[in-house]
Amino acid sequence: EVQLQQSGAELGKPGTSVKLSCKVSGYNIRSTYMHWVNQRPGKGLEWIGRIDPANGNTIYAEKFKSKATLTADTSSNTAYMQLSQLKSDDTAIYFCAMDQFLTTVPPFAYWGQGTLVTVSS
């Protein structure tokens, strides 16, 4: 059974960074694209970017290019997202989602449970 387990809630001070994790079980992330999506309180979904864990190639939405850094560790089957220079506007739930592009499973069929990041001094 495929599962995506995200790290726990984070409280970050303005100007600092946080690093979120998304550990995948039941499937090798080398054969996936790992995506990250956020949702601000009471708002809709926003695509941040994706990483190809096999080679580290990344694609970001323009507004997140200087905010988010996506990495992956294939040895632990875990994807990471670091958010830098935190501002109050970064307060949101952050989700990871998987695209098993080598299979017939549709993209975004699997999601993590979300990590709440709260930015506050």
49 Cα distance to chain centroid = 8
Measured from the CB of residue 23, what is the shortest distance to other proteins in angstroms? 15
Footprint on residues 38-97 left by other proteins (CB under 8 A): 44-47, 49, 59-62, 95
Task: Give residues with Cβ within 8 angstroms of 94, minimum separation 6.
Answer: 6, 20, 36, 37, 38, 48, 81, 83, 114, 115, 117
Run of H or E residues at 111: strand 110-111
Q: Which stretch binds other proteins (CB under 8 A): 14-22, 66-74, 80-88, 112-120?
A: 112-120
Q: Which is nearer to other proteins, 14 or 26 (CB)?
A: 26
Measured from the CB of residue 8, what is the shortest distance to other proteins in angstroms? 15
Q: Which stretch binds other proteins (CB under 8 A): 10-18, 19-27, 79-87, 105-113?
A: 105-113
34 vs 79: CA distance, rounded Å:
7
